[in-house]
Chain A
Amino acid sequence: QVRLQQWGAGLLKPSETLSLTCAVSGGSFSGYHWNWIRQSPGKGLEWIGEINHRGSTSYNPSLKSRVAISILTPRSQFSLSLYSVTGDDTAIYYCARAQGAVVASAYFAPWGQGTLVTVSS
């Protein structure tokens, strides 16, 4: 059974870079799209972006100028970098595998356990 385990720094100051890593175990890394999703306090979920096993990426236009997702081969890991963070970036960040034949019908399972990232001076 596929499991996603994530980690990274939980407390940042404004203007710093958020860095998180997600490790995939128990299943294939190839053939899937790997995603980052965040949940701000008291708000809904927001899709950040994705990467496939070949390294092709797609990002939410609202974050595209500040985000980068990359693969850390050969260890079946992928990472999220979010630059120049502000208080609005305070959220729980999740990694997740996308399923579905095409991007437009993609759904997410499983999810990582989540990492709370707080941005405060």
Chain B
Amino acid sequence: QSVLTQPPSVSGAPGQRVIISCTGSSSTTGAGQDVHWYQQLAGKAPTLLIYKNSQRPSGVPDRFSGSKSGTSASLAITGLQTDDEGQYHCQSYDSDLGTSVFGGGTKLTVL
């Protein structure tokens, strides 16, 4: 069981908006730790999508946005495209464990 909780799957039609949640605890997101998001396309390694809750690396479209409030963080994807299909993972730091921790991943299906 992952330290950070994500929904197993979400779906949306092309052009729509979806939100993926990531819920932590008092030792992770509730302790003020940053949340980062990764996109993993089929058969590929994860790539950084959002860092420090809401920052986009260069090259990431502004259709992708992140936010954090309290123990929860969210990744929003607007204008869904078929190329967005894949797994999305959140990551933070657990101050009790002293390690980076991940969510279980959310599979995005574009209908």
User: Are A109 and B100 in contact, CB atoms less than 8 angstroms apart?
Assistant: no
Contacts of B100 in A (CB 8 A): 35, 47, 106, 108
User: Are A46 and B93 in contact, CB atoms less than 8 angstroms apart?
Assistant: no
A-contact bits for B70-111, CB 8 A (1 contact / 0 none):
000000000000000000010101010111111111000000
Q: Could you list which residues of chain A lie within 8 angstroms of chain B, going by C-beta atoms?
A: 35, 43-47, 58, 60-61, 94, 99-100, 103-114
User: Are A94 and B99 in contact, CB atoms less than 8 angstroms apart?
Assistant: no
User: Are A108 and B93 in contact, CB atoms less than 8 angstroms apart?
Assistant: no
Kindly state the separation between the CA atoms of A105 and B93 in the bound complex, as whole angstroms. 7
User: Are A43 and B57 in contact, CB atoms less than 8 angstroms apart?
Assistant: no
Taking the closest CB of chain B, its distance from the CB of A12, in whole angstroms, is: 21
Q: Could you list which residues of chain B lie within 8 angstroms of chain A, going by C-beta atoms?
A: 2, 33-34, 36, 38, 45-48, 51-52, 57, 89, 91, 93, 95, 97-105
Q: Which of B51, B57, B98, B102 contacts A45 (CB 8 A)?
A: B102
User: Are B98 and A107 in contact, CB atoms less than 8 angstroms apart?
Assistant: no
Contacts of B97 in A (CB 8 A): 60-61
Kindly state the separation between the CA atoms of A31 and B3 in the bound complex, as whole angstroms. 29
Kindly state the separation between the CA atoms of A99 and B47 in the bound complex, as whole angstroms. 13
Given A43-B104, A47-B100, A61-B98, A108 and B33 touching (CB < 8 A)?
A: no
5 A-B residue pairings within 8 Å (CB atoms): A46-B102, A47-B101, A58-B98, A104-B34, A105-B34
User: Are A112 and B51 in contact, CB atoms less than 8 angstroms apart?
Assistant: no
Taking the closest CB of chain B, its distance from the CB of A43, in whole angstroms, is: 7
User: Are B105 and A107 in contact, CB atoms less than 8 angstroms apart?
Assistant: no
Contacts of B2 in A (CB 8 A): 44
Kindly state the separation between the CA atoms of A4 and B97 in the bound complex, as whole angstroms. 27
User: Are A105 and B33 in contact, CB atoms less than 8 angstroms apart?
Assistant: yes
User: Are B34 and A45 in contact, CB atoms less than 8 angstroms apart?
Assistant: no
Taking the closest CB of chain A, its distance from the CB of B27, in whole angstroms, is: 11
Kindly state the separation between the CA atoms of A113 and B47 in the bound complex, as whole angstroms. 11
User: Are B45 and A111 in contact, CB atoms less than 8 angstroms apart?
Assistant: yes
User: Are A113 and B102 in contact, CB atoms less than 8 angstroms apart?
Assistant: no
Q: Which of B36, B45, B102 contacts A47 (CB 8 A)?
A: B102
